Structure 1
Amino acid sequence: MYSKITGTGSYLPANRVTNDQLATQLAAKGVETSDEWIVSRSGISCRHYAAIEENSSDLAVHAALKALEMAGKQPGDIELVIVASSTPDYHGSFPSTACIVQQKLGMANNSAAFDVQAVCSGFVYAVATADAFIRSGMYKSVLVIGSEVFSRILDFTDRTTCVLFGDGAGAVVLEASNEPGILATKLHADGSHANILSIPGSLAGGAIAGSGFLYMDGPAVFKLAVTVLEEVAKEALAHAQMQPSDIDWLIPHQANLRIMKGTAKKLDLPMEKMVVTVDQHGNTSAASIPLALDAAVRDGRVKKGDNVLMEGVGGGFTWGAVLVRM
């Protein structure tokens, strides 16, 4: 028994903000930045922000419906919903965003639903979890979604972080299959690096104790990310008895173009084999990999039978890779 991706979908909020527009908005707050400064450090040209009435579950539903349509499935056909998100609908993370998505899709109680929290590695963690459920025979159809509204946790007086992130959602339908789909999954975490990427606040007495804004030690994250992404990619390939040359497409977490280029170089892969969408939506955390995958599937780059390596790193510190045959 294998699990196979049968549908992909994605969604970006209507409010598209270019670097020039963001620079103008930040200047009003006394924060200086520019399109040149942002592009040179990240490769990002624009990002999307959710409307005030849009939550992670709303973005997730849009992406899910597109994935279900591609897979030829109805919401009622799904037996498990997994949502990867660091920006859930409810403060305190319950009820889970997955349960809210289930309700909004009209799935009633015919499926299980839960969230996964691994920050930017969340989608990889969620796919690995779904694959394990399907291989065990417990479920035959799983909806996996990465959805984020990071604009809600950004400090717009800190140009080192606020220019990097955006909102969006991506989804895949995984189904039981007799032919190989998910070829290998590898997951890691190292809590000793928890302080380099976090929201250093906690809920106490109904209010935030500490900061409710995202904090990132950029240089530390960069150094660790390039190292672990190479290592976990090679682990996944070794498990599947494959070489980097067998990869048709590399889809890394869309965080920073310099990190992505560094990963491709270490794997001796040409840039032409890497899917890049970070320039159009910024770092969307758990949504970034499925957003990029859906874009490449729908424009015809990723085809049936292609070997696709997806990998990500995130706060925790977490990282992982999923090797897929489409």
Structure 2
Amino acid sequence: MPFAKIIGSGSALPENIVSNDVLADQLAKKGIETSDEWIFTRTGIKQRYIAADNIKTSDLATEAARKAIEDAGISADEIDLIVLATSTPDYIFPSTACLVQAKLGIKGGAAFDVQAVCSGFVYALTTADSYIRAGNAKCALVIGAETFTRILDWNDRGTCVLFGDGAGAMVLKVSEEPGILATQLNADGSLHTILRTEGAIHHGQVTGDPFLRMDGQAVFKKAVTSLEDSALKVCEKASIRPEDIDWMVPHQANVRIINSLGRKLGIPEEKVVVTVDKHANTSAASVPLAFDVAYKDGRIKEGQTILLQGVGGGFTWGSVLVKL
């Protein structure tokens, strides 16, 4: 059976950078008290990118996709599958993946969205891997893209300081050489209330709560235990020990979660990619964004073994083990 190998990556961020200090000033005008110290000590976040009103999720996704295609050294016409992870699509339908396909000027291959919130990219990568290994695609574009700040309640200090916008993409191609070594996905729908956005459209009206709501303590506890278990299982599938991993690229939600997970797995801090300080939590975009940063600055190199992990609403979580 062939492998799906990562041959290129790219990312995109909005122009508007909002530091903790600027955000604190903006929230103070609403009567909400916070500070750079309060945010940073609890999350590790120093800033986030916020998309302008005229920028859509598909715009960020397309920019990241073009960069990944260029990095891969291929033509967009070679892509026969697009899997796009997002919880903030341009429309209810058509899918944002189809909109990106049109913007790239390609036709014919399958294109669809995956919705698993912050686990979305790991789910999308696993899906594309399955298509390629089964012979149903030869060259896949996998994207995580969000304009997550548009579903935040800016009167809720516990959530509005945590998130940002952005996109990341990878190109996978069929290969006889090892690529994606193993994948491991999970969900527990009974925990859907700890991280949710319950808004819906009914007869032309928005019903329910349109904003993100989160039980932070419950999410923290579940995230650490779930990701540790998933990492051990995906390593067992690939017959690899955690200490053999060259880089861990976890979901960038909170530096405390990241550090706790690294300690439990015995992976030293210098082998963990952290970008939450710069990007905040970009949901489905966080893993490919972090990967692209470390890949482009030379930390992640060909021949290395990389652990990618996501965890988010649903409740969902999962891992992908990659030989680059």
State the TM bucket, normalised to the shorter chain.
Answer: over 0.9
- Of residues 209, 213, 222, the one that matches 1:211 is 209
Q: Conserved in 2, the CA contact under 8 Å of 1:76 and 1:110?
A: no
Q: Conserved in 2, the CA contact under 8 Å of 1:200 and 1:212?
A: yes
Distance 1:162 1:257 in 2: 17
Distance 2:195 2:249 in 1: 22
Which whole-Å deviations, capped at 9, do the CAs of 1:264-292 have from their partners, x for residues lacking one? Answer: 01001110000000000100000000000
Shift of 1:102: 0.5
What is the count of residue pairs matched by the alignment?
323
Matched position secondary structure for 2:108: coil
Q: Conserved in 2, the CA contact under 8 Å of 1:145 and 1:171?
A: yes
Distance 2:245 2:155 in 1: 41
Q: What residue is the counterpart of 2:4 in the other structure? A: 3
TM-score where L is the length of structure 2: 0.99
Q: What residue is the counterpart of 1:160 in the other structure? A: 158
Moved more, 123-132 or 204-213: 204-213
Matched position secondary structure for 2:24: helix
4+ residue runs over 2 A deviation: none
Q: What residue is the counterpart of 1:196 in the other structure? A: 194
Shift of 1:46: 0.2
Distance 1:42 1:207 in 2: 35
Shift of 1:174: 0.4
Shift of 1:201: 2.0
Q: What residue is the counterpart of 1:237 in the other structure? A: 235
Q: What residue is the counterpart of 1:222 in the other structure? A: 220
Matched position secondary structure for 1:185: strand
1:43-192 maps to which residues of 2 (within 5 A)?
A: 43-90=44-91, 93-107=92-106, 109-192=107-190
Q: CA RMSD in A?
A: 0.6
Which whole-Å deviations, capped at 9, do the CAs of 1:233-278 have from their partners, x for residues lacking one? Answer: 0000000001011100000000000000011010011100000000
Is 1:259 matched with 2:257? Answer: yes
- Structure 2 residues without counterparts, runs of 5 or longer: none
- Structure 1 residues without counterparts, runs of 5 or longer: none
Which whole-Å deviations, capped at 9, do the CAs of 1:299-318 have from their partners, x for residues lacking one? Answer: 00000001000001010000
Distance 2:318 2:54 in 1: 33
The letter of the residue matching 1:294 is: D
Shift of 1:207: 1.5
- Of residues 310, 322, 325, the one that matches 2:323 is 325
Shift of 1:75: 1.4
The letter of the residue matching 1:103 is: A
Distance 1:285 1:210 in 2: 22
- Of residues 260, 263, 286, the one that matches 2:284 is 286
Identity of aligned residues (%): 60
Matched position secondary structure for 1:211: coil
Shift of 1:205: 1.7
